[in-house]
Amino acid sequence: MTPISDSALPIVESAFPFSGATMNFKLVAAFVVPALAACIIYYASPMRLTNVLVAAIHDVERTYFDALDARNSVLSAVYSLRLKVSVIRETTLRNSLSQHVAFREFLKGRTFALFECIEEVRVLQIQIEFREKLSTPRLKFCGT
């Protein structure tokens, strides 16, 4: 075996289109960028957001039924949101049967509609909790 001299290494390195730190950066970028893109697509996917939306509407209903003296306006808001969530969920499930249609819906901004609906549900939950706190009698401590 013949040993490779140190003077031969620069010749070998110059044969590659990139070398040294640039090569390491491009290799890392080649793995990190697709992984990051996959994470973003997963967290913004309509299927995952639909599950979050369903969980949020269940939390609102639980909060509503825990609040015993809720008003009729809150009840109608819960039911209208329940209908909206049901329509969004069925549309998303139907579109998820085809990857092409699901991706097209993603590009059309379905994700933003889901984020908006999730926010509406959470705002309603906060309103219900606030009304519940206002309606509960405060305990008086001795000497106050």
pLDDT category at 102 given cuts 50, 70, 90 is confident
Residue 119 three-state SS? helix
CA–CA distance, 82 with 88 (Å, rounded to integer):
10
Portion of the chain with pLDDT greater than 90, in percent: 1
For 69, phi then psi, to 5°, come to -110, 50
CA–CA distance, 134 with 141 (Å, rounded to integer):
18
CA–CA distance, 137 with 142 (Å, rounded to integer):
16
Domain borders along the chain are: 45-135
Note the pLDDT tens digit of each residue in 37-89. Answer: 888 888 888 888 888 998 998 888 888 777 655 556 677 778 888 888 888 88
pTM more than 0.85: no
Lowest average pLDDT, out of 24-28, 81-85, 108-112, 137-141, goes to: 137-141
Side-chain-side CA neighbours of residue 2 (13 Å): 4
